[in-house]
Structure formats: C-alpha cells, structure tokens
Structure 1
C-alpha cells in the first residue's frame, strides 16, 4: 500500500514514524504543521537530519515565552524577524488601516500595521480567510512625536509567504480515489490522521475513529461524542485541521463563542470549519438559559443566530466532547446525566445531528501510532476543507435516499447530512448517483448515519418521553431509490 500511495499522491505523501520520532512530540506542533516541517527536510526515503529540522523549528517557531526577546530584536535592534505562525488580518473600515494579530504570541492588532505598499503585495494570500498560516516577516515602524497627530510605534508586517508548498487540486484527489479499494481508502484516511491502520482489530473500529472527521467535510454538522479517557478526542479535533478550533473547556460564554457586544467582534464560531468544545462535563456555561437559546438557534437555523441585534453567520459545526463513565456507556440509558444542565434540555439535543459512541474507538496505544508513508496531514486537511463547498454530494444523497411518509424533518435532515459527510469521506470520486455502488453506499454511508441519529432519538425519548415517543417523532424508514441507467 505504501508504494501505491506514493505513486498516486507523489509529493503529497510524507514518511511518518511517530513511535520513533518521539522528539517531535516535545515540539508540540499540530499534525498539519509537523508534516509540513517534515516534508521540508525528508529525502526520497523519508530520512532527515534531526539537527537541521530542530534548527529550523527553533529559528522560525519560537516558544511564546520567547516573545519578549523577539519584540526586543524588532523594536530595539531593528531586525527583520521571520516566524512560521498563524496570522489574523483586520481592516478598519473608518480609517482604511490594515492591522494583524499573531494569536500564538499574544500580539494584537492595536500594536500592528500593514502598510499599503506591503498590503498590495500580500493581500491575495491574506484575504483568503480570517486566519491563515504562513511565514510572516516582521519589522518596526518607529514612533514620530513630531507628526500631528503623533504616530505611535508599531510592529509592521514586511512580507508574508503562505506555507502550503503545493497546489491543492480537489479534482485530482477525487480521481485518485478510484485507484483504491474501499478497504485501502479507509487505511489512507487513518494514515492521514496519524493512525496506523494495522493497529485496529477490525473495520468497525476504523470507521468508529473516522466518524470524527465528519464535521471536517460537511458544513454546520453538529455532533456530540462521549468517550472514555484516552481515545484521542482532543488530538483529532485540535491537531488535524488548521481550519478547526478546539476550545479547552473552562468557561464558555456568549461573547467568547458568538458575539462580543462590547468589542463588536465575533466569537470562535466565525471563521472556523468546526468548534469543538472539550471536556463538556467540566465546562462552565455563563448564563445557561441564554447559551442554550443561542446554541439552539444557531443549530436550528443552519449556522445563523442573532445576538444583541447582530446577526452571526457561520458554516462551523459545533462538536461537544466529553468523557463518560463505564457504567453509562449504554445508548439505552440516560448518557447525559453526567453533563451540565444545558445538555438535559431535549430541544438542544434534538438539534444535534448525531452521536459518536467513543467507547467503540480503541484507547491510544503505541501500535496505533502511524509508522510509514501516509498522506501529508496539511494537504489532507486542506482537501477536507474544500470538500465542504461541494454541494453535488448532497444532491446525490437526495436523489438516492427516500423516507417514509410523514417523517420527522429533523431526523431526515440529520441522516441526510451525516450520509453526505460519509459519502465525501469514503467516496469522493462519485460524480452522480449512477457512480454509486448501492451496497457500499448502504454499508458505509446510510447505515452508520442512521445509527448516529438513532442514538440521539433514544436519548430524546429518555429525556422527554411524552414528546419524543409520539409516532410522528419516531425514526422514519430510509430506503434507496433505484437509479435509472
């Protein structure tokens, strides 16, 4: 399989051996960034010089604690400093001033500026999204007290280079899928996520792990996963994609999550493919009734809600992640009784599209770490991001899947949305319903989608039996239409 992967994907493949490359863990790099660095230093056989690699990381990716030293070099020694990091650009409509933030170093847009001559050179790269990764070159604009009004000193951007070393061709990725069997493709996906396919006992375990990628490929897909400790929830949602965001528990508030009225800034939900809220058992939700209402509105209205008169719009799915005790790992029990009161409201749970049974995913162990050639995670997450915009897959699902009469709309939408995500993940090469193998579609797309939504329905019946045991709110039948040749 390794030779086939390299032949098909060429420079998009990278050699990963996370068991032996233990020093990489100490760098605390997200997977997509680590693979980019590896690709710069590996030869055709996957070998590289450790000292060269570490030298690059220490030079271009210093720790946050080194920021004061960096500021000194920029503002006092007038050095040009290059960093490989995230940059977030903002344009002040009133003044036309362009500024930026470096979130990983705490540098805010009040301290920065991008002068017009530089902006003209770098804007094509920087306007692609609100936040982008790349190599930033920083300089200093000294203060001028003689000017009227006085000109404050600011750190300025002098150059920017996107760190993607290749063009991401989605059609190429779709076509290449046809060169692999479904079983092989599942292994390709796991390798891209940093997991070793041979470490799993069977295909069921593999697919259970791959469920976590569904919000990566489908817009506004809302899921909840409850799992034992040590199954890698945080790793997947915090390391695989540069387009997603993992919120590490703590306090989740309306300003932080959706819209800050005082600052007139949008929250985490805007500008990301998904926002995963970790450790939901420990999360403190400020003003629970308000948060419940906003979450419900956002999930019900397909990524749109109004906060203090401001309309928030986003394609981000919401992912709730929590641990669960052994004796509660049963979909026929109330699995939400350990969670905050927010999750005990059936109206909120109903707006979650699916449930991931995290106990079906094996706990992390050495043999599950990838060892060999695999898809570059940076390339992989870019592909998943692009797949979100392709509406042809939903059209295929709509043409294939029919439901029983009088079906509850939320069940229908949830199953179809999940099925669409599975189709993008496992069969990106299909262009029309005629390309779909009905047996594989049923096995790998529709059936698992029904199971994920079915667990939500069982929990709804437990939380609010009077409402959700009504015949009209039961799970409908989903069947496949025959497609004319």
Structure 2
C-alpha cells in the first residue's frame, strides 16, 4: 500500500475499496461498476489482505448464485420454481398497467414481465419507472390456474445504492488531506492511476463529475474514440443514465403526451446523450426546441403545463479529425449534426457551461487504471448528490472579479463550473487564493472554448474578452490550449475560409502555427517561452536545435538523468545535436548529473552504451556525477555563447507507450503531450 492508500483507509474506514478488485470479481457479468463496488463495499472495504481475499470469494459466490446471466435465465427461473423463493440481482423496470390499475415489473436479464409491485415500493423508488434500476430482489413462485394470473411474486426489493452517509464526517476527513492528495484520492475513486496524469489532465477528468454535484449543469465532451468519455455516466453512479443518440426522443427525455409519463430528466440527476456527434444525423427539430428551453429555463412544456426538472445534460461525441484540421477547415464543433450548427441549434451550444477537450485525453491503457484504494463509488455518488444543495459560486468574489465584457450567460457557465469544482475539491471551504484562481481560470477556459467556436460559426456573436481582475487591479486574460497551439487557425471564422497557401508565411517556409521560423530565416535572440500541460508540438529540434548548431562544446546540467525514460530523453537531445551539425564536425557533450542510489550501475552502463554509439557520428560524450547534492538548476551551456535554462530539465513530456513501435508519440516528439514547462534563452 502507498502512503496515500494508508491515509484513505485511516480516514474513511469501511468506505473505500481496492479498485483492481472490480476486474477480479466481474468475470463475464455485464453489470455496472457501481453494482460490483456495492458488493465489494459490503465485504472488502478494508486494507486487511486476508479479509479482502475472503471478501472476494464471498462476492464471487454471491454473483455466481444470484446475478442473472441472460443465457442462464431459464435455470434461475427453474431454481425459483423449485425452491419457492430465491434472491436475484437484476435490472428492474416498472410500468403502470392502467387496465388493472397496478404496477408491473420486468426483469431485464431474467426475462420475466408483469410481476406485481406495490405502490409503496414505486413511491419510494420512482426511478424504477424510468430506465430501470439495478436491485437485489427476493422472488417467489406460486402457480395458479386462474386465467391471466402471474406466478411471480416480488416479496422484497432493494436498489443497489448507499442508503445513508454522514456529510459532516466526510468534510472533516477531507481536512486531513492536502489538495494534491485529495485530487489523487478522487482519481483513484473513479478508477484512474493518478501517477499517469498531470495536474491539468486530472482536473479535466474531475470536470466530468460536476454534473453529479451541480443541478442543471450542461456539459459537452468531443474527442477521439477510446478515451473513456461515457464510462463515468454508465458505470459510476446509480443517479446517472446514458442514452444512445438514436434513442433520445421527446417522449423518452421529457414527457409522453399519450401516457402523461414524465421522462428521464424528471427522475435522474444526470442524463448523458451518447453518440451525439455525426454530421449525417438529423435530430428532431421539436426535440432541439425543447432541449433549448430546458437548458435555459430548467423546465419544459409539452402542452401539459410547465414542468421543472434538475437533471444535468451531458453530450458525448466522437471527433473524426485532429484539432488543427478542425480549426483550419471548420471548428471544434465540426462533427456535430448541421442542425445543431444552424440558428436554432446554436442556442443549445450557447447554453453549454463547459467544453471538455476530449482530444487531450489519451486512449485508455492498462497502466492508466488504478490498483490503489478509492471510495466505493456509490458512496462518492451520494456525496456528490448531497453537494447539489450547496452553492460555491461566490467563493472567488473577494479576490477576483470577472471582466464586465463577459455576458450573463457566459458568467453563469463560469460560475456553475467554478462552484462544481470547488465543491468537489474543497467541500470544507479551505482553498488558498492561488487554488481559487486556478479553479477560476479553468472554469473560464471551458466556457471560452464554447463561445469562441460559436463565434467561428456565426459572426453575430460579439467578441468577448475572457478575463478577470485581481485584487491589485490587474486584468488577467485567459486563453484555451488550442488558442496557444494554433493561434492563426484558432481566430479565423468560417466566413474567412481556410489558410491561404500563397501567403508570405507559407512561401517563406513558416507554417501558420509554428512558433519558430525555419533555420534559413531564423534570427537567434534572448527570450522566455512557456508551455501548457497537454500542449503538443514542442520538440528538442524546435526548442534547442538552432541554439546548439555551431557549438563545439555543450554542457548539460540535469540532476535527473537516472531512470530509463530520462536517459532516453538525453539520447534524443544528442540526436538533435547530430541533426544540426555538419557531418565533418565533432561536438563534445558533457553531462553533469547525480548517481541513482539504487541503480547506479545500470545508469553507468547506459552512459557507456551512449558513448560507444555517439563516437562514430561525431559526438564525444562524457559525464560526471555530482556527489555534493547541490545541483538543482537545469540548463544547457554552449561554448559559442548561449545558456538555455530549463525549469524541468529534459523531462518535458508526459508518459507515452515507449514499447509500441507503431505509436507516433514513440517516434515523433511533437506528437507527445507535454508537461507544463518553461525555457529561457540567455546570451552570455
């Protein structure tokens, strides 16, 4: 167990579970994670290994005996008949049969219908009427020769979700964790390994939780396939429902005018619409109008009078192109149906509070999943649900003020995101000014992404300065990451068309979004560059190549060239040096670093192998270990007058699959997402 795992268990005894156990017990059961974790929470919510192993066997036994696999439904029905009474785990939906004035249940996997349910059970668990709920039930079988009689009798029903929790204890326990620790606790709780993700990526993941703790929150996420966009909304909480794009109808979402039955938004905390993108889709105009009014006014009216609801709306879709292509040819809403991009549909987009940049999320790999401890997800789901009753949107008011240029609708989006993230991260209300500013900037960025893309589609949307004023009166602007990476694409409107390939920039060999001119036209100068987390494009060639060209002696000082990936980074720096020197030149490269306490021999062996390899290509490589422990600054010095200061040294890239020869991130540095880092070029 890690120190964080120990701390979670100490402060939340009985409410956490080891996350890799879900895979251990799941087998071939097609059941949401929150159902499995509910059972694990009953028997494995401990750090004691022997108890965990015993609990695993118990949960496996329960699933084997009581979870209904569809292909074994006939056997389970037979068991109920023979035993007279049997406990099953299944998804149950209830409907009113107005011909006999009674509620009837249908069991999804068991394959039985018209099982009578008493009104008290339905009133206690109204979600049974909409979409169905996973439950543990006792079923009885009593055959009767009377016509139209149903032999199945539902004797008890218990939805699989937490029955109660102590909010005050939750808040008090939160105080025992630092902000970094708490973020990692939440990441582990949703099944992700925090060591793989940077700060920005962690916050993006946690934005997906805001619809659970913020009423009527409207979120969109567009990105490549395989990044886990829908997982949270299908597996995480018993209070969310995921609807396929083709199944989203007026009757299903809002109200069935024939039966008068309220739809999903009336019963669920979060309604997520999957497969939202697809340029060839033609959504129902009436559905769009109703969605537009609901997202704006928190109510809907289908001729039966206004109906209020609190469900947050989440829209999930796949993109078919990368970000620069979308920005050059259309925009980040490029893959949405045309109906959502015309005048009526734009109103829905304008009511989105945050735009999750799904292209910043990597395809899920095995190493990204957590094996540590996290909250049993139904416990966290109940925590988030209780937070819907609180409002943290004013928590930045004493420190910062939004620009007067920001409209009421933009302000609402920013405030709701800010409130949601603050409730998730700081339910105890103890955030530093720096942490409050970080959350505020993050909240502004997501709403700015929405508004900037609307302005590309329709120029009648006025330009907005997304900025805020600090206590000292300084106005601080906020930009999106795409804006930083592709400035000349980002600010073009559709009316302006694509990039002119005959422009002077293109003729001179400079692509529109290169931050650096080509070597032929470059003039070296002192400067300071800042890069955001998840930004793509930087490489050692573009950062260092021109400054190292012509040097005969180069000294690299970096105390962290120890582990394999760090040594590989250094090797790639040598590749850059080789690319920028003439074949008949020799360059001496000296590395000053520190020796690894445990793998020093392997470290030396790696350096020896580099030395042997570098000689034939004209690089004389030497190194030394600084034993004083005093080197902290990281920089590159050349004998022709340049010092390049590196706040992170050469460790500027996030983790990528090094062993996959068919991944471009492995072959090209510019395809790797970066960590946040800064570079300063100084003439000496």
User: For residues 140 and 49 of structure 1, do their structure 2 counterparts lie closer, same or farther at Cα, with a shift above 3 Å needed?
Assistant: closer
* Among 446, 465, 468, the residue aligned to 2:461: 468
Counterparts of 2:281 and 2:151 in 1: how far apart (Å)?
A: 37
Structure 1 residue 297: Cα displacement: 0.9
Aligned to 1:39: 41
Tell me if structure 2 keeps the 8 A contact 1:227–1:359. Answer: yes
Q: 1:203 to 1:154 in 2, by over 3 A?
A: same
Once the two structures are TM-superposed, the CA of residue 457 in structure 1 deviates from its matched residue by: 0.6
Partner residue, 1:408: 407
Whether the 8 Å contact between 2:40 and 2:55 is mirrored in structure 1 is no
CA contact (8 A) 1:85 1:102 kept: yes
Cα gap change, 1:203 to 1:406, in 2 (>3 Å): closer
Distance in 2 of aligned mates of 1:166 and 1:11: 14
Correspondence for 1:79: 84
Compared with structure 1, are the counterparts of its residues 73 and 47 closer, same or farther at alpha carbon in structure 2 (3 Å cutoff)? closer
Q: Which has the higher contact order (CA 8 A, sep 6+)?
A: 1
Q: 2:59 aligns with which of 44, 53, 59?
A: 53
Please state how far the C-alpha of 1:18 moved relative to its aligned partner.
5.8
Match of 1:227 among 223, 226, 234: 223
Tell me whether 1:210 sits opposite 2:203 in the alignment.
no
Checking the alignment, whether the CA contact within 8 Å between 1:218 and 1:417 is kept in structure 2 is: yes
When residues 255 and 59 of structure 1 are mapped into structure 2, their CA distance, relative to the original with a 3 A threshold, is: same
Compared CA separation, residues 356 and 123, structure 1 to 2 (3 A): closer
C-alpha distance in structure 1 between counterparts of 2:143 and 2:281, whole Å? 43
Deviation at 1:271, TM superposition (A): 1.1
In 2, Cα distance between the equivalents of 1:98 and 1:312?
A: 24
Give 2:449's aligned residue: 455
Deviation, 1:424, is 0.8
Asked if the contact 2:37–2:376 (Cα under 8 Å) also holds between the matched residues in 1, the reply is: yes
Distance 1:127 1:295 in 2: 23
- Per-residue deviation at 1:343? 2.4
Q: Is the CA contact 2:29–2:69 (under 8 Å) kept in the aligned structure 1?
A: no
- Return the match for 1:64 from 55, 66, 70: 70
Check whether the contact 2:448–2:466 (CA below 8 A) recurs between aligned residues: no
**TM-score if structure 2 supplies the norm length?**
0.61
Query: 1:43-442 to 2 correspondence within 5 Å?
Result: 44-45=48-49, 46-48=52-54, 51-74=57-80, 77=82, 79-88=84-93, 97-103=102-108, 105=110, 111-115=114-118, 119=120, 126=125, 133-140=134-141, 142-143=143-144, 145=146, 152-153=149-150, 155-164=152-161, 167-200=164-197, 202-282=198-278, 288-302=284-298, 304-309=299-304, 311-328=306-323, 334-344=331-341, 345-388=345-388, 390-394=389-393, 396=395, 402-405=401-404, 407-430=406-429, 435-442=430-437
TM-superposed deviation, 1:256: 2.3
Give the 3-state SS of the residue equivalent to 1:269 in structure 2: helix
Deviation at 1:87, TM superposition (A): 4.2
Q: CA deviation at 1:362?
A: 2.5
**Alpha-carbon distance in structure 2 between the residues aligned to 1:384 and 1:283:** 34
CA distance in 1, matches of 2:154, 2:214: 34
* CA separation of 1:240 and 1:475: change in aligned 2, threshold 3 A: farther
Larger Rg: 2
Question: How many Å separate the matches in 1 of 2:111 and 2:246?
Answer: 19
- Structure (1 or 2) with the greater helix fraction: 1
Partner in structure 1 of residue 16 of structure 2: 13
Q: Residues 387, 415 of structure 1: CA spacing in aligned structure 2 closer, same or farther, 3 A cutoff?
A: same
User: What is the number of equivalent residue pairs in this alignment?
Assistant: 458
Q: Say if 2:25 and 2:60, in contact at 8 Å, map to a contact too.
A: no
Flag the 1:357–1:160 CA change in 2: closer, same or farther, 3 A.
Answer: same
Q: Distance in 2 between matches of 1:40 and 1:185?
A: 24
Give the superposed CA RMSD: 3.2
CA shift at 1:22, angstroms? 5.2
| 1:175-194 alpha-carbon deviations (Å, 9 max, x no partner) | 21111111000000001101
Structure 2 regions of 5+ residues with no counterpart? 473-684
Q: State TM-score, norm by structure 1.
A: 0.84
